[in-house]
Structure 1
Amino acid sequence: MSLPDELAVRARDIIAGRVEPVPARDAATVVILREGPPAGLQVYLLRRKSTMAFAAGAYVFPGGSVDPRDSDHAVAWAGPSPAEWGRVFGADERTARGLVCAAVRETFEESGVLLAGPGPDSVVEDTTGDDWEADRLALIDRSLAFADFLAKRGLVLRSDLLKAWAHWITPEVEQKRFDTRFFVAVLPEGQRTRDVGGEADQVVWQSPTEAIELAHQGTIFLMPPTHQTLTELSAYDGVGTVLDTRREIVTILPKLLEIDGEWRLVTS
């Protein structure tokens, strides 16, 4: 993709060493999957409000930055350990713990879906109700830590319900940057997503193919990582085949290149 003029100037400054790139913040995002009626793979997308500083108006998956408290050892845990996740993503154990906790926390904050249960083989069946909503809002404003939220409800995080999918880093030319690990997860039986507001003004369940087609028509806006993930998922006929596929996580950091006098971001 070509760069706007102001970013092209910044690109030249970065390459010349006049400007240092902004450090990328650790973040996690989760592609929630379900079998759509009458059949076929669907994903949950939310549209970010036009007033947001980052990715305004874009259709994205639930996710966000790692809270320092997400790395807390007090988080009750079931499934692959932080060390195992670290090997998958090429991260240290503390970072991996934070990424997985952020993935589960942000998914609950932005969709109402909670990948946790009373034990290692169970999942919460219903997260609706005023008490759940109060906890969700407390997590969002950071007055409640994720570890404390799980502890007071007697729940354990189910890391086995997540599958690693991709790793994208925001290009160095951007002034808000994220080092984001992508996960996929199936909507737990009995739970349902809901329009929870906050950073989003619209939510939708859609097949990957439909979302890509709407983007090509200009009806919706997808950022490159979202578009690429949907393109990959469009090759699968259901959640089972997505979960069964083997993924090698390769870090993607789009590079700045000047091609025929025009600055572009390229991924290969």
Structure 2
Amino acid sequence: MPSEPVVPRPAATVLLVRDAPAPPPGRAPLQVFLQRRVAEMAFASSMTVFPGGGVDAGDRAGLASWAGPDPTWWGERLACDTELAGALVQAAVRETFEECGVLLATPQLPADLQRHRSDLVARRQTLGQMLAETGLVLRADLLRPWARWITPPAVKRRYDTVFFVALVPDGQEADAHTTEAVEAAWWYPAEALEHWQRGEIELMAPTIRTLQEIAEHPDSAAVLAAADERVVRPVTPEVRREGGKVVVVLPDDPGFQLDVERIVPGGSA
């Protein structure tokens, strides 16, 4: 008898966007922050991805220091229950801070911010504890919902991942100071897709589709405006054999089809 599919773990990923101060001729100013994961990672090793990760137990605690749309609002937008919605927002803020050093919180960030970042990474502190200690307020209004992707049932390590969009706050800089990535940089979305087409970087299907979507917009303001109008529904890619190859397709987008060999190292789904 075939085994039951693994229950997907809730996760959050964030499209950090900005406008390049001096884009080259022919490029729109929109840029997005991407990281290339280390080869030792159990999931998406060596892939170029947006910052993010799974929901932790600490993300499920309610926060008193919260500004912007509440978890009930987020639950309606993300098609999930209120408790999970709040945890996803916290995970998005925490992971972005841990992996990029960008903290979606106000008011003035403390001078010892890097100590708190290290404590979060080492799980010596939760996001809620850090906010309480520093007097900071989580800014849920700096996030916008973009999409929700669920790993196909045949995959052994599955995630139910909400994709958020956020503009890098003034005065903050994204960095590559994380053990989970070997490099990180700002990319023009079309440029990242061009590098993938040439086989110079590896991208997963949700990353490819998301880059295609945001590449339709000229700047960060247009992406945020588009996010406000999107209806987020769970999307589960389908993996099937067509002819002599295995492909990934999207149920609601017949024009989207990718050869598994192009997106999964070794062709393993």
How high is the TM-score relative to the length of structure 2? Answer: 0.87
Please tell me whether the aligned partners of residues 100 and 178 of structure 2 are also in contact (alpha carbons under 8 angstroms).
no
Q: Distance in 1 between matches of 2:248 and 2:173?
A: 37
Q: Partner of 1:112 in structure 2?
A: 101
For residue 138 of structure 1, the aligned residue among 115, 119, 134 is 119
Of 219-228 and 72-81, more deviation after overlay is shown by 72-81
| Cα deviation code 1:125-177 (max 9, x no counterpart) | x67x6x22221121112110110001111011100000000000011111111
**Percent of aligned pairs with the same residue?**
43
Please tell me whether the aligned partners of residues 68 and 141 of structure 2 are also in contact (alpha carbons under 8 angstroms).
yes
Please tell me whether the aligned partners of residues 75 and 150 of structure 1 are also in contact (alpha carbons under 8 angstroms).
no
Q: Partner of 1:226 in structure 2?
A: 207
Describe the SS at the equivalent of 2:162: strand
Q: Distance in 1 between matches of 2:70 and 2:63?
A: 14
Q: Partner of 1:266 in structure 2?
A: 249
C-alpha deviation, 1:203, in angstroms: 0.5
Alignment of 1:115-126 (within 5 A): 115-118=104-107, 124=108
For residue 53 of structure 1, the aligned residue among 34, 42, 46 is 42
Describe the SS at the equivalent of 1:243: helix
Describe the SS at the equivalent of 1:231: helix
Q: Distance in 2 between matches of 1:28 and 1:169?
A: 11
Q: Distance in 1 between matches of 2:238 and 2:115?
A: 42
Please tell me whether the aligned partners of residues 79 and 233 of structure 2 are also in contact (alpha carbons under 8 angstroms).
no
For residue 151 of structure 2, the aligned residue among 164, 170, 176 is 170
Please tell me whether the aligned partners of residues 111 and 193 of structure 1 are also in contact (alpha carbons under 8 angstroms).
yes
Q: Partner of 1:7 in structure 2?
A: none
For residue 148 of structure 1, the aligned residue among 98, 105, 129 is 129
For residue 96 of structure 1, the aligned residue among 85, 102, 110 is 85
Please tell me whether the aligned partners of residues 77 and 157 of structure 1 are also in contact (alpha carbons under 8 angstroms).
yes
C-alpha deviation, 1:102, in angstroms: 0.2
Q: Distance in 2 between matches of 1:198 and 1:97?
A: 27
C-alpha deviation, 1:259, in angstroms: 3.0
Q: Partner of 1:249 in structure 2?
A: 232
Q: Distance in 2 between matches of 1:74 and 1:260?
A: 52
C-alpha deviation, 1:256, in angstroms: 3.5
C-alpha deviation, 1:197, in angstroms: 2.3
Uncovered stretches (5+) of structure 1, i.e. residues with no partner: 1-16, 119-123
C-alpha deviation, 1:262, in angstroms: 4.9
Q: Distance in 1 between matches of 2:19 and 2:138?
A: 24
Q: Distance in 2 between matches of 1:176 and 1:235?
A: 31
Q: Distance in 1 between matches of 2:240 and 2:41?
A: 28
Q: Partner of 2:162 in structure 1?
A: 181
Alignment of 1:36-51 (within 5 A): 36-39=20-23, 40-51=29-40
Q: Residues 57 and 100 from structure 1, CA distance in 2 versus in 1: closer, same or farther, beyond 3 angstroms?
A: same
Of 71-80 and 54-63, more deviation after overlay is shown by 71-80
Q: Distance in 2 between matches of 1:42 and 1:262?
A: 34
Q: Partner of 1:67 in structure 2?
A: 56
C-alpha deviation, 1:19, in angstroms: 1.4
Of 177-186 and 236-245, more deviation after overlay is shown by 236-245
Q: Partner of 1:34 in structure 2?
A: 18
C-alpha deviation, 1:75, in angstroms: 4.7
Amino acid at match of 2:180: E
C-alpha deviation, 1:265, in angstroms: 3.1
Please tell me whether the aligned partners of residues 75 and 146 of structure 1 are also in contact (alpha carbons under 8 angstroms).
no
RMSD after superposition: 1.5
Describe the SS at the equivalent of 1:203: strand
Describe the SS at the equivalent of 2:15: strand
Of 141-150 and 17-26, more deviation after overlay is shown by 17-26
Uncovered stretches (5+) of structure 2, i.e. residues with no partner: 24-28, 252-269
